[in-house]
Amino acid sequence: MFKTGTFSKMCGLSADTLHHYEKMKILIPEYTDNDTRYRYYSAEQLLTVNKISALKDAGFSLKEIAGILNNKKDHHSLTDLLEEKALSLEKTLEQETERLKRLYTNIFLIKNGGVPLMNEITIKKTESVLAASLRRRFHKDFFDEELEEMWSKVNASIEKHKIKKSVPCLMIYHTGWWNFADDEKEDERYLDVEISEPVLKKFESDDEIRVYKLPAEEKMACVVHQGSFETIGNTFEVFFKWIRENKYVINGPLREIYHKGDWATDNPDEYITELQVPVK
């Protein structure tokens, strides 16, 4: 048998907490000396302390814990109760994770000036967005291989630094499949591409990876393409024709923002990609 002070040190609970648990009829001393009023606890009661800790971690109130322990639930029924609570918490966590993702998406969309109506070309203002990016120049023949490696490298760095991503991700074409300037002198066989994952916090970048704010734009021409990337060329042609006909001048690299892709659907016809280019 152990006095309150000794038992307190053994179980990691303060004497005041033990007295409170006694009043709540959660953990009653094994024996109380009638003359000295010293309270004594048994070694077996350490298991009760463990049960109380588990129930508190599971989110039960002290009143609920008192009811559970006083019902003399056996070990198996108590673990069943905790497992049931764990499943409930897991479901809640999944729901809150999805809610958090939607919140990050909405934050991005607000900074992005919203999403235009499908196939409607608009001019909007965008805010700066913090992103982890990797930029490379490579031959068009190695497009898929290069992008796979670039995305993998950026995401590995973000995970390594335990940084939360905002969504959606995007690509920036500094020169590429569609060159805008009439005096473009770049070798047409090569692409100058940057991939970007919006993030919530700046971190020290690795190797080629740069963490910086994509610039805000006062005038950003935008259009949304729904469908596979095999048909996106038609949307580009209409987009650039509209820019020329409305007397705008391209004033920066093209952005492809992936609002919905293969991570969300198996049907390429359901992909949603926003095209953006700053103009003046």
* 36-58 confidence digits (pLDDT tens): 888 889 988 898 888 888 888 88
pLDDT at residue number 205: 80
The answer to whether residue 181 scores a pLDDT higher than 60 is no
Q: What is the 3-state secondary structure (H, E, C) of 100-125?
A: HHHHHHHHHHHHCCCCCCECCCEEEE
Residues 6+ apart with CB under 8 A from 48: 27, 69
pLDDT at residue number 74: 57
Q: Are strands 170-175 and 210-214 parallel, antiparallel or unpaired?
A: unpaired
**Gap between the Cα atoms of 265 and 254, Å rounded:** 25
Instruction: Supply φ then ψ for residue 41, to 5 degrees.
Output: -115, 150
- CA neighbor of 161 nearest in space, from 126, 203, 194: 203
Instruction: Supply φ then ψ for residue 73, to 5 degrees.
Output: -65, 135
pLDDT at residue number 60: 87
Q: What is the pLDDT of residues 82-130, one digit of tens each?
A: 888 888 888 888 888 878 777 777 777 777 777 666 668 999 999 999 9
